Structures are given as C-alpha cells and as structure tokens.
C-alpha cells in the first residue's frame, strides 16, 4: 500500500512538473512569436507592402498551419511556428497602415491592442487560478469554427458588409472561448506540445485584435 501511494505521488509530481514545463515554454514562445510578428508588421509597414488579399491570406494561413502540425514533433517545428507567425505579421502591416491613416487611427489601434492584452491576461488568469476544466467548450469551438469559416467564404462570394460587425463579434467570442479551452488543456495535461499550444493562443490573440479593431472602427464610423 505504501509503495503504491508513493508511486502515485511520484506520478503526480512528475505530471505537475511536465505541465509547468509546457506552460512555461508556451508563454515564453508566445511572447517571442508576438514580438516577431510585430516586427514583421513593422517591416511590412515600412516597405508599404500591399495587402495580400483574402484568398492568398487563407491559403497561406492554412498551408503554414498544416506545416506547423506536420513538424510539431520534429526539429523543424520551431521554424514552422516562426514562418507562420511571421507571415501573419506581414499580412497585418497593411491593415495597420490603413487604420493608422484614419483621423483617430492611432487611438483605435491602441485601444484594440490594450483591450486584447487585458482580455488575454484576464481569461488566462481565470483559467489558471480557478483550474476549471473547459474541455466542454470543444463542441462549441468545432461548430463555431465551421460557422465562422462559412461566413468568411460567403463573404468572398457575396457582400456581407451588413453582417461584418456580427461576424467580428462572433470571432471575439470564439477567440475568448478558445483561449480558455487551450489554457485549460495545458494545465490539465490535455496538451503536451508547447508548439501547438503556442500557435493556438497566438491565432486567438491575432483574431481577437483584428476583430476588436474592426468593431471599434465600426463604432466610430470608420
């Protein structure tokens, strides 16, 4: 009995150490990718690169995301992550240039960035402090993903500008739920690959920022 209890305790301690390692590596890499993405956005703005367009953006997004998942357990995984986040950073540059050209553009960008940071920190802290299991959100995320992707595809075919605010609000809800779900998966041992965890959180922060930027711009008639 004593040996069995000792073995159980050792497994619990080992599991806790591994979870903390994944969590630490995830947030460290997330900070690095956000900084790299911001630098690429700055390069894009400095060179006045044009917007790639929705089709190129979607192809590049899903193509590089596929590459990340294929190499997540190899030595090339880290490079794939930076290629993915760098691509999105380059694509972000023209969007920021457009918003910054508005009369209240700097305020819009700053407000969206600050709100995104507060939302991410708040949601992550809630999941970490309460230790609540948010795995029940997986069904909502699957349905939400297909609904939002369907809206994006329809937007390429039809004029959905009248529903653009609703779509952006949908992305905000989806990103917030995904942040809770991914953080919970890490602390409960459901996600052991920090590269995949980093990319998931990065994408949600990216979408959250763009969606809030669009919402604030719309509220300001911009």
Q: Write the pLDDT tens digit of every residue in 137-158.
A: 999 999 998 998 888 888 777 7
Distance CA 106, CA 143 (A): 35
> Quick one: CA dihedral 93, 115, 99, 157, positive or negative?
positive
The C-alpha atoms of residue 75 and residue 9 are separated, in whole angstroms, by: 33
161 lies in which domain range? 2-219
Residue 13 or residue 96, greater confidence: 96
Looking at the structure of the chain, the number of domains it has is: 1
Over residues 113-134, mean pLDDT: 94
Residue 212's φ and ψ, nearest 5 degrees, are -65, -35
Q: Is there a contact between 113 and 209 (Cβ–Cβ < 8 Å)? A: yes
Q: What is the pTM of this model?
A: 0.89
R_g (Cα) of the chain, nearest Å: 19
Helices (H) and strands (E) in the chain, counts: 7, 0
């Amino acid at each position: 009995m004593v040996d069995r209890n000792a073995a159980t305790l050792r497994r619990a301690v080992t599991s806790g150490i591994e979870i903390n390692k994944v969590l630490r590596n995830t947030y460290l890499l997330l900070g690095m990718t956000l900084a790299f993405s911001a630098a690429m956005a700055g390069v894009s703005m400095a060179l006045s690169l044009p917007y790639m367009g929705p089709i190129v953006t979607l192809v590049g997004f899903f193509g590089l995301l596929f590459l990340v998942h294929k190499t997540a357990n190899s030595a090339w995984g880290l490079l794939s992550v930076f290629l993915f986040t760098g691509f999105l950073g380059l694509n972000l540059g023209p969007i920021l240039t457009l918003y910054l050209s508005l009369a209240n553009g700097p305020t819009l960008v700053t407000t969206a960035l600050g709100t995104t940071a507060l939302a991410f920190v708040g949601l992550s802290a809630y999941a970490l402090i309460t230790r609540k299991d948010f795995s029940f959100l997986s069904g909502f995320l699957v349905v939400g993903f297909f609904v939002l992707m369907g809206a994006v595809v329809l937007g390429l075919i039809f004029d959905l500008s009248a529903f653009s605010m609703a779509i952006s609000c949908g992305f905000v809800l989806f990103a917030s739920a995904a942040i809770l779900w991914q953080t919970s998966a890490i602390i409960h041992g459901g996600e052991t690959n920090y590269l995949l965890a980093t990319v998931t959180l990065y994408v949600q922060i990216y979408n959250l920022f763009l969606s809030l930027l669009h919402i604030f711009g719309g509220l300001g008639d911009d």
